[in-house]
Amino acid sequence: MLSPGEAIDLFLASLKRPARLLVAISGGSDSTGLLTALCEAAGDPDESGITILAATIDHQLRPESADEALAVNLLCDQFSVEHRIQAWTGEKPETGRASAARIARYQLLCQIAEELQATAIVTGHTLDDQIETITMRQARDPERREPEGTAPREGRSGDAGMSSSVLINGRFWLFRPFLKTRRNAIRDFLLRRGMGWIDDPSNTDERSERVRVRLALAGLSDAKADAWRTAVDLAQNRRRSVSEAAAGLLRQSATVWQASAARLDARALSAPPEVLFYAIGTLIAVLGGREHLPASEPFDRIMSRYLRGESFRETLGRVLLYNKDDGLYLARESRDLPEMQVSMWQRELWDGRFEIVSHVPAACTVLPGQGDVATGSYPDVPTLIARAAWRSLPHVIVPQEFKDVQVQITPVLAPFRQFLADFDLGLADCLAQLMGLTTIPRPPLNDLIRKT
């Protein structure tokens, strides 16, 4: 495990400079320790090339949150750090509030990063957070469940947990330099400096799954935590290896037409099943406009038929799969395709698969594809797949007087649109190329360090 100082030194050594780092700080021990350690290590920005900025997201879920944000502002003043406070306004959902708050938090952090011209966002997630996250995921999957507090076995890629770096909204890289550092070590670091922190009462509310898991893991020894760290490292290496192999498989055997239909030729069957399943599962998520890969039970059943060489027509994750002698074809099925209105300059996500930006000074209607398949759009693709793919494309109806005004339609990689872990960067790049998109932004890290 790493001390807070060691973790920050390694992180800053990995960064390209100059860099402007936006620290997400709530006032809790982890984020306060992060800001403190970064400010100490970075020193004078004119000398180090590292400028520290800070942002607090006030979720407005507790009466005390506004005063806590002001307390953080005073701390930032002590470090001469520019600090922004941004409230999550509007009505809050009655269910799924934690997930909604998380998405809102990252959206607002990206907004602040844009305003402050930050290079990257930094958060204070710790090894304890990592252990809690994996434990919660294991609890939802009986096949992966371990005895309470026990590190996952065999470095399984499904136990990779949180990545140390993740691309948010396709725009900003977020770093988690404390993922190999324990919370108690951060608190000791602060206490040695005579510093305190804010304890959020929601962290003791046992209605929260994470709080229940945190309490169950209380007292986890450093030795056991270190075993977790080793297991997570192995799992992340395996996850990265599988993802990179899946990217290689798709480059070798996949063809994509109009960002709406795909084929895997027979060469794909020579890949290891874990790699093949990850490649096809990700392709289904992309073509289906879904953030997550298909559910394991129906997916495994279909893949078993595929591996046996059977001919079949199946639907899964809103995608039609048609297996023939010359390959496996995939396209969005022609059901439940949306209709929507798009206003000028409005950025809308259509069916989870296409982003639409209108430059038309009037409302436009977006419908599923109309009419017969355009000649040459899907060469050598079975009619069943070609028709489904064509109908799954967005068709924009523009008022006659503005028919020459541009409406921009861009394919979206749904499973990577909001959060792209660095494990999957190569796979996302491959899919972006197949879909005719630009290259994914690289993390602002030194090349040598990024490769090791």
Annotated binding residues for ATP: 26-31
Helices 183-192, 29-42: inter-axial angle, 10-degree rounding: 60
Is the sign of the CA dihedral 409, 411, 414, 418 positive or negative? negative
Query: Helix, strand, coil: what percent of the chain each, to 5?
Result: 45, 20, 35
Sheet with 172-175, edge to edge strand ranges: 82-87, 50-58, 19-24, 120-122, 172-175, 165-168, 419-421
Q: Are 368 and 337 in contact (CB under 8 A)?
A: yes
CA 240 – CA 308 distance, rounded (Å): 27
Please report the DSSP string for 380-400 in residue order.
T--HHHHHHHHHTSEEEE--G
314: closest CA among 328, 327, 293, 296? 328
Q: At 357, phi and psi to the nearest 5? A: -125, 120
Annotated binding residues: 26-31
DSSP 278-322: HHHHHHHHHHHT-SSPPPHHHHHHHHHHHHTT--EEEEETTEEEE
Sequence length of the chain is: 452
Spell 37-56 as b/e; 16+ CB within 10 A means b: bbbebbeeeeeeebbbbbbb
| E strands in 333-428 | 340-342, 347-350, 354-358, 364-368, 394-397, 407-411, 419-421
Specify which residues 409 forms β-bridges with. Answer: 356
The H-assigned helical ranges of 345-443 are 383-391, 425-434
Expressed in angstroms, the distance from the first to the final Cα of the chain is 18
* Cα separation, 261 vs 385, whole angstroms: 7
Long-range contacts of 202-211 (CB under 8 A, 24+ apart): 202/61, 202/62, 203/28, 208/98, 209/136, 210/98, 210/132, 210/136
What Cα–Cα distance (Å) separates residue 413 from each residue in 115, 174, 231, 291? Answer: 26, 19, 30, 9
Q: Are strands 120-122 and 19-24 parallel, antiparallel or unpaired?
A: parallel
